[in-house]
Structure 1
């Protein structure tokens, strides 16, 4: 009588590839020596076929349903990392003035969310913090939070808090280490041995905030900070970039934002000395030569990058006409509209405020127009769209020559000073627009002589994986963007790609990428940034491509 032990290894490997690569495959390893070897082969083949599927553009998009009753709330700018068979998510914020300090665990095998009711000293509610894994712990540093609505005109808050979460002990511990960096947010961090390397971010020093290109290192074993000696030239100050750990001695930094209208697509390589603890050794920056930039993503800032094999993967729309200009308004890209309505809540380096002149009754005809301040003074421009009316204080557009239809006399109508007036007005405009379209549709249906004219439908921008070949980045300081098989990928893809997003998290699992949260963003102009996501999307190779590698 034949048993499962009589099966050829090829058949056994095919059976094992159909189970979950997490707890189920770990259990199969413990059956016998033969099963252990087969499971190791399955892991390597799973990685190989995923890398091959990404290069060919033949991938599977899968959004699971959550069997449990506990589901994480919608959020963006959160912190996420993978430990063993789980993805941990901390904090983040919503389209309203709400930040979180909750910690969630997503089981990558069962696709189940669970909120961890931890003990110890909780971190403050915040977003834009960095979180890495080290020695069965989560290390959380920095972050930023919205100010409360009242009292008005409060500034946002940056943090320099350092917390460590013991995964097995389920406990938060706040560390007070000497030499801590200034309050920082939007930075990046990677772990090299027992040292966490933090680069860039937005810092607040002496009451002012600015982006930085400083490097700070945290010795996790000795629990102390130190700042290494850096070479020149160095990357420009930035935040919202991606930091990739190549090995214990090399770090890759991609893209980023230096402030309003300062967007970077450059790539830098940081070489760490052999003795990372040597305070006198110099760390070397070198800019990487990037080839075939015509294949690069249309947007790299606030699109996280993830290392897969010998490539770096960025999920974004293709370049071309969807590429926004380098001088665009960053406030419309980085934060949702409800946050942009309050200039103090916009997380970009503050620009110089325009001069506010007092009302002069002796000059009824003024040449300069005052900006509207909380509905108390100044003018509202005519024909202003809801998004344009909510521009941030750091927008560098010149409005002084744009005189509104209300005129410059004292008899102008005074706008409402309610804090949600802009939101109500935008909601009414949307309702009126839907009613108008509905009436037009009904009139076309009732009029038999009205023949609808077919218009070419504008297809929604599709998210595709962009791959940066980094095989020569250490030896020759050279990287190359691989061609995107867009047309083939749409036909060969399994499942539906997610909506283009920003400020989501992207982590590498066992043979797949895991994308969570974010703000929907359509580069063609059809975005609605009020709807924050809490969906989880897996990017993997199709099941029928197991032996394709």
Structure 2
């Protein structure tokens, strides 16, 4: 046997691995450009790539929709890039474009008195930020705008608000009525002028709907200035419905309308219906859900089940400030809010084997410190408290990988809330808040946030920014009045639902 024959006999490559190993490796790839790349290698990889993609999507949908089975919620936190001046923000505008595999972010608030107009994109294939330097009629600094894909190569940015200085000391709120479109192909901003526009508006909702093969942007509600004297008027909540094609038109509504509101979420269900949820009116937090039909031009209020218990639906303190996103194949709306209760004994047992090894170091340390209250003590003497904390610190020095911990009374971080909308078009239309997937979400940002953005993209959720609610929640005797000062969150989190940390 020649030397060349020996080399050929003993040389191995990745293609020689069993398909089970390749499938396991492919599961850890990001579901964007990586999936497209492996399908170009060979026919075997193309087939395994399709299998992996189907597995990931089915696994995500099943874990999302099952109402009783516990599931691991994996948080992947990424700090803002140091080489870019990506300022932490809240009330910003985001738009996900699946064909580009990009998340676009515009403006927002740096603090209560400073608005931004920087424009960024996040490449979901590499998790890298890039600032976009576009030409054309650039939008002014503002927050609380709507930013959506018109599905024709443009991103539509409408409305918003900002704070302007009247003099060296005093400031006032300014609402915007401009409609800008950003061309993905030309990298330019265009300003659309129309005399029939709704007027200065913010905190409204918007979505794209295809009616008779015509794309229309539909906006609803928000805070609007009605008077022609914009600078002298006070913003008022509205329940008007507008559409934009190449011109603005107010939609005439038959029958009852939803209560005027702001800060709500809106979704296009099909070519005939849109859905709104959440927000706040002048007197209350809106826990109702409404469906609008373009066939009849009528609003229908939908019955909401399980809307008040804290373990099913978000609390009033958070609901008017939370963003919702829709996962159509599962017909479920998702949001993340603070957990407002402690786990029951049954839940302790159910989640006693939950694997927290994927959490970040800080979350694991908080978990272990809190678990000190449940460590067994040999006597009732007060000196046992010292021994108890020494045991905790010893456990902190042990390897945390593949360890399993008991779920304790911690209510920090984000809880995932799910609203089932699968019965919207049944004989008795209703939506239902489903039981929580887990008692608390470990590995999430150390403090829960409001005014963040939440996007669903290819079997994962993307959460960015917000205002952190600083609250001491590891001790039971603290009340809701013990909120500390608020700060801006620069958190970028990718959230997956799986039995393994993808």
Q: TM-score range by the shorter chain?
A: 0.7 to 0.9
Secondary structure of the corresponding residue to residue 165 of structure 2: coil
CA deviation vs aligned residue, 1:146-181 (integer Å, no higher than 9, x gap)? 122625555311111000111232111111135211
On the 8 A contact 2:452/2:466 being kept in 1, the answer is yes
CA deviation vs aligned residue, 1:396-441 (integer Å, no higher than 9, x gap)? xxxxxxxxxxxxxxxxxxxxxxxxxxxxxxxxxxxxxxxxxxxxxx
Residue of structure 1 in register with 2:115 after alignment: 99
Equivalent residue runs for 1:14-33 within 5 Å: 14-32=24-42
1:41–1:270 distance in 2 versus 1, CA, 3 Å: farther
CA deviation vs aligned residue, 1:259-314 (integer Å, no higher than 9, x gap)? 3x4211111112223xxxxxxxx422111111122211113111001112221111
On the 8 A contact 1:65/1:111 being kept in 2, the answer is no
Residue 73 (structure 1) aligned with residue 83 (structure 2): no
Residue of structure 2 in register with 1:266 after alignment: 288
Q: Which deviates more from structure 2 when the two are superposed, residues 44-53 or residues 452-461? A: 452-461
Secondary structure of the corresponding residue to residue 192 of structure 1: strand
Residue of structure 1 in register with 2:392 after alignment: none
Residue of structure 2 in register with 1:226 after alignment: 249
Residue of structure 2 in register with 1:88 after alignment: 104
Equivalent residue runs for 1:199-218 within 5 Å: 199-206=220-227, 207-218=233-244
1:29–1:498 distance in 2 versus 1, CA, 3 Å: farther
Residue of structure 1 in register with 2:259 after alignment: 236
Residue 304 (structure 1) aligned with residue 323 (structure 2): yes
Q: CA deviation at 1:527?
A: 3.6
- In the alignment, which of 465, 471, 474 is matched to residue 416 of structure 2? 465
Residue of structure 2 in register with 1:117 after alignment: 133
Q: Aligned partners of 2:435 and 2:493: how far apart in 1?
A: 23
Equivalent residue runs for 1:6-21 within 5 Å: 10-21=20-31
Equivalent residue runs for 1:43-192 within 5 Å: 43-54=53-64, 55=66, 56-65=70-79, 69-84=83-98, 85-134=101-150, 135-148=152-165, 150-192=167-209
Residue 538 (structure 1) aligned with residue 487 (structure 2): no
Instruction: Name stretches of at least 5 consecutive residues in structure 2 with no aligned partner.
Output: 1-8, 228-232, 343-381, 390-407, 472-479
Aligned length in residues: 403
Secondary structure of the corresponding residue to residue 114 of structure 2: coil
On the 8 A contact 1:88/1:104 being kept in 2, the answer is yes
Q: Aligned partners of 1:541 and 1:122: how far apart in 2?
A: 39
Residue of structure 2 in register with 1:364 after alignment: none
Residue of structure 1 in register with 2:356 after alignment: none
1:252–1:10 distance in 2 versus 1, CA, 3 Å: farther
Q: CA deviation at 1:522?
A: 5.1
RMSD value, Cα: 3.0
Residue 252 (structure 1) aligned with residue 275 (structure 2): yes
- In the alignment, which of 425, 431, 454 is matched to residue 479 of structure 1? 431
Secondary structure of the corresponding residue to residue 179 of structure 1: coil
Q: Aligned partners of 2:250 and 2:16: how far apart in 1?
A: 60
Q: CA deviation at 1:65?
A: 4.0
Instruction: Name stretches of at least 5 consecutive residues in structure 1 with no aligned partner.
Output: 274-281, 322-449
1:60–1:76 distance in 2 versus 1, CA, 3 Å: same
Q: CA deviation at 1:250?
A: 2.1
Equivalent residue runs for 1:494-513 within 5 Å: 495-513=443-461
CA deviation vs aligned residue, 1:312-359 (integer Å, no higher than 9, x gap)? 1110123569xxxxxxxxxxxxxxxxxxxxxxxxxxxxxxxxxxxxxx
TM-score (norm 1): 0.67
CA deviation vs aligned residue, 1:49-103 (integer Å, no higher than 9, x gap)? 2233345342101102456611410111000111132211100012241111110
Q: Aligned partners of 2:89 and 2:224: how far apart in 1?
A: 23
Q: Aligned partners of 2:410 and 2:482: how far apart in 1?
A: 11
On the 8 A contact 1:95/1:530 being kept in 2, the answer is no
On the 8 A contact 1:520/1:528 being kept in 2, the answer is no
TM-score (norm 2): 0.73
Equivalent residue runs for 1:380-419 within 5 Å: none
Residue 41 (structure 1) aligned with residue 51 (structure 2): yes
Q: Aligned partners of 1:6 and 1:250: how far apart in 2?
A: 52
Q: CA deviation at 1:467?
A: 0.5
Secondary structure of the corresponding residue to residue 514 of structure 1: strand
Q: Aligned partners of 1:496 and 1:209: how far apart in 2?
A: 36
Residue of structure 2 in register with 1:197 after alignment: 218
Q: Which deviates more from structure 2 when the two are superposed, residues 518-527 or residues 264-273? A: 518-527
Residue of structure 1 in register with 2:357 after alignment: none
1:498–1:179 distance in 2 versus 1, CA, 3 Å: farther
Residue of structure 2 in register with 1:283 after alignment: 297
